[in-house]
Amino acid sequence: MAPKFVSDRNLRFLLYEIFNVESLAQYSYYQEHSREIFDIVLDTAIKMGRELLLPCHAAMDKNPPTLADGRLSVNPVVRTFLTECGEGGWISAGASYEHDGQQMPAIMVSACQFVLSAANYSASVYPFLCSGAAHLILSFGSQELIERYVPPMFSGLWQGTMALTEPQAGSSLSDITTQAVPTNEGHYLLRGQKIFISAGDHDGADNIVHLMLARIKDAPPGVKGISLFVVPKRRIRDDGELEANDVHTVTTYHKLGYRGTPITQLSLGENADCRGYLVGEPHCGLKYMFQMMNEARISVGMGAAAIASAAYYASLKYAQERPQGRPISQKDPAAPPVPIITHADVKRMLLFQRAVVEGSLSLLLQCSLYQDLQKVTEGEEKERYSLLLDLLTPVAKTYPSEMGVLSVSQGLQCLGGYGYCDEFPLEQHYRDARIHPIHEGTTGIQGLDLLGRKLFTKNGKAANLYLQEVQSVILRAKAVPALQPYGKLLEEAVNELQAVTLHLAQYAMKGEYDLFLADSTLFLELFGIIAIAWQWLLKGIACQKALDGELTRIESLFYQGKLHTMRYFFHYELPKIYGLSRRLKEVDGLTAHMNPELFED
Active site residues: 440
Q: How far apart are CA 123 and CA 471, in angstroms?
A: 39
Please tell me the count of residues contacting its own copies according to CB under 8 A: 110
Interface region with its own copies, contact rule CB under 8 A, candidates 109-117, 125-133, 409-417, 476-484: 409-417
Contacting residues for 420 by C-beta, under 8 A, at least 6 apart: 412, 427
What x/- string results for residues 102 through 141 when contact with its own copies is judged by CB under 8 A? ----------------------------------------
Tell which one of 351, 396, 474, 541 touches its own copies (CB under 8 A): 351
- Cα angle 307, 301, 211; round to 5: 110
| 388 sits in which H/E element | helix 379-414
Q: Are 516 and 508 in contact (CB under 8 A)?
A: yes
> Judged by CB under 8 A, does residue 3 bind its own copies?
no
Identity of the residue, 75 or 446, whose beta carbon is nearer to its own copies in the bound complex:
446
> Judged by CB under 8 A, does residue 282 bind its own copies?
no
Q: Within positions 307 to 326, which residues make up the interface with its own copies, using CB under 8 A?
A: 316, 320, 323-326
Identity of the residue, 281 or 345, whose beta carbon is nearer to its own copies in the bound complex:
345
Q: Within positions 437 to 476, which residues make up the interface with its own copies, using CB under 8 A?
A: 437-439, 442-444, 447-448
Q: How far apart are CA 500 and CA 261, in angstroms?
A: 41
CA-nearest of 443, 439, 409, 403 to 426 is: 409
> Judged by CB under 8 A, does residue 63 bind its own copies?
no
**Nearest distance, CB of residue 560 and its own copies, angstroms:** 6
Tell which one of 44, 291, 471, 560 touches its own copies (CB under 8 A): 560
**Nearest distance, CB of residue 102 and its own copies, angstroms:** 29
Beta-bridged to residue 247, according to DSSP, are 268
Alpha-carbon distances, residue 413 vs 310, 427, 473 (angstroms): 15, 10, 35
Identity of the residue, 343 or 461, whose beta carbon is nearer to its own copies in the bound complex:
343
Tell which one of 2, 9, 458, 485 touches its own copies (CB under 8 A): 9
CA-nearest of 341, 281, 277, 321 to 149 is: 277
Tell which one of 347, 382, 461, 476 touches its own copies (CB under 8 A): 347
Q: Within positions 503 to 532, which residues make up the interface with its own copies, using CB under 8 A?
A: 513-514, 517-522
Identity of the residue, 63 or 413, whose beta carbon is nearer to its own copies in the bound complex:
413
Identity of the residue, 291 or 413, whose beta carbon is nearer to its own copies in the bound complex:
413
**Nearest distance, CB of residue 286 and its own copies, angstroms:** 12
Interface region with its own copies, contact rule CB under 8 A, candidates 70-78, 87-95, 333-341, 380-388: 333-341
Q: How far apart are CA 263 and CA 495, in angstroms?
A: 43
| 244 sits in which H/E element | strand 242-244
Identity of the residue, 53 or 319, whose beta carbon is nearer to its own copies in the bound complex:
319
> Judged by CB under 8 A, does residue 261 bind its own copies?
no
DSSP codes of every residue in 318-354: HHHH-B-S--TT---TTSPP-BGGGSHHHHHHHHHHH
Q: How far apart are CA 376 and CA 107, in angstroms?
A: 13
> Judged by CB under 8 A, does residue 99 bind its own copies?
no
Q: Within positions 190 to 219, which residues make up the interface with its own copies, using CB under 8 A?
A: 195-196
**Nearest distance, CB of residue 32 and its own copies, angstroms:** 31
Interface region with its own copies, contact rule CB under 8 A, candidates 26-34, 123-131, 240-248, 427-435: 427-435
Q: Is the sign of the CA dihedral 100, 104, 105, 108 positive or negative?
A: negative
Tell which one of 25, 157, 223, 482 touches its own copies (CB under 8 A): 223
> Judged by CB under 8 A, does residue 12 bind its own copies?
no
**Nearest distance, CB of residue 421 and its own copies, angstroms:** 5
Beta-bridged to residue 241, according to DSSP, are none
Q: How far apart are CA 402 and CA 5, in angstroms?
A: 20
Q: How far apart are CA 117 and CA 258, in angstroms?
A: 11
Question: Within its chain, how far is the Cα of 541 from the centroid?
Answer: 26
Tell which one of 98, 185, 239, 599 touches its own copies (CB under 8 A): 599
Q: How far apart are CA 431 and CA 84, in angstroms?
A: 28
> Judged by CB under 8 A, does residue 547 bind its own copies?
no
Identity of the residue, 308 or 351, whose beta carbon is nearer to its own copies in the bound complex:
351
Classified as helix, coil or strand, 475 is helix
Q: Within positions 155 to 174, which residues make up the interface with its own copies, using CB under 8 A?
A: 165, 168-172, 174
Q: How far apart are CA 189 and CA 419, in angstroms?
A: 51
Identity of the residue, 56 or 351, whose beta carbon is nearer to its own copies in the bound complex:
351
Beta-bridged to residue 342, according to DSSP, are none
Q: Are 418 and 424 in contact (CB under 8 A)?
A: yes
> Judged by CB under 8 A, does residue 301 bind its own copies?
no
Identity of the residue, 30 or 258, whose beta carbon is nearer to its own copies in the bound complex:
258
Beta-bridged to residue 244, according to DSSP, are 234
Residue 183 backbone phi and psi in degrees, to 5: -125, 175
